[in-house]
């Protein structure tokens, strides 16, 4: 009988340290030194296993927009899901991910998205979460240095059937005393100045490049906004699943 190699996901995730790294990156994008501190492991070892995960397509990297010397690692949840399905099918055709998710919430989860200008990324994220999360969420967005809503952000959401043209940009200080279940920074710069919010919300960082920083006019830069919306939609689909599977915490709006 010929030997059967384990599926790719099992080979990559089966190592204890790589599994720990995947758990950390499933919650928030991170830099190597942060991951080393959280796991208590030397940088050389963490970097090696991150390289293995990256080579396997589970982890991607992006240079920080705040400090180009820093690199953020992020988990590709869609790719992980694909490999998970393939792994189940490789063992038995009846195995696969559960389709019905438990719903433990008695009130909507409050989610705040933050970026620098609140002109594109966080506005798009808010709109997508409202669209996908429905009654299970209340979504908000703000910026550390608000700018007018970018026309291409409006266009990108129009393509998804959502009109955000009348929304305004908001300074994050307007939400400083409010309570949230999740505070998600989308910008490397705003992550460094994000204040602490009451109620101990879960803080998450998604290192998303600013589409408005691309050179050119609205027509030339629109594809960057569409890519940003696509990346955010993929991440938010998993966030909605996470929200719907968690029981309600006692969090008030103000």
Q: Say which of 13, 187, 190, 229 is annotated catalytic.
A: 187
**Active-site residue, 194 included:** yes
Catalytic residue among 189, 194, 214, 242: 194
Strands 202-205, 182-185: parallel, antiparallel or unpaired by DSSP?
parallel
The strand order across the sheet containing 137-143 reads 137-143, 109-115, 182-185, 202-205
Say which of 12, 21, 115, 204 is annotated catalytic.
Answer: 115
- Per-residue b/e over 208-220, b at no fewer than 16 CB within 10 Å? bbbbbeeeeeeee
115 in active site:
yes
In terms of C-beta density within 10 A (0-12 exposed, 13-18 middle, 19 or more buried), how is residue 108 classed? middle
Catalytic (active site) residue 36 = no
Q: Measuring CA to CA, which residue among 34, 27, 26, 33 is closest to residue 53?
A: 26
The CA distances from residue 229 to 59, 63, 114, in Å, are: 20, 19, 15
β-partners of residue 31 are 72
51 Cβ neighbours under 8 A, 6+ residues apart: none
* Rounded Cα–Cα distance for residues 128 and 162 (Å): 8
Q: Which residues are catalytic?
A: 115, 187, 194
């Amino acid at each position: 009988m010929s030997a059967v190699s384990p599926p790719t996901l099992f080979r990559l995730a089966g190592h204890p340290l790589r599994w720990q790294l995947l758990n950390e990156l499933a919650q928030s994008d991170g830099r190597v030194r942060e991951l080393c501190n959280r796991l208590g492991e030397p940088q050389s070892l963490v970097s090696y296993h991150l390289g293995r995960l990256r080579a396997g397509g589970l982890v991607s990297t992006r240079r920080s927009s705040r400090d180009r010397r820093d690199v953020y690692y992020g988990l590709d949840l869609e790719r992980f899901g694909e490999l998970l399905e393939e792994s189940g099918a490789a063992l038995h055709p009846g195995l696969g991910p559960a389709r019905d998710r438990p719903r433990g919430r008695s009130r909507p989860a409050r989610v705040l998205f933050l970026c620098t200008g609140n002109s594109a990324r966080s506005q798009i994220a808010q709109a997508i979460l409202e669209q996908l999360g429905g009654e299970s969420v209340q979504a908000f967005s703000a910026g550390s240095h608000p700018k007018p809503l970018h026309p291409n952000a409006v266009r990108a959401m129009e393509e998804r059937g959502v009109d955000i043209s009348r929304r305004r940009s908001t300074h994050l200080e307007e939400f400083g005393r409010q309570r949230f279940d999740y505070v998600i920074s989308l910008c490397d710069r705003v992550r460094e100045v994000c204040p602490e919010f009451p109620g101990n919300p879960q803080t998450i960082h998604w290192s998303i490049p600013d589409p408005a920083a691309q050179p050119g006019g609205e027509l030339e830069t629109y594809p960057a906004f569409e890519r940003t919306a696509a990346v955010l939609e993929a991440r938010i689909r998993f966030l909605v699943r996470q929200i719907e599977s968690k029981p309600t915490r006692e969090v008030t709006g103000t």
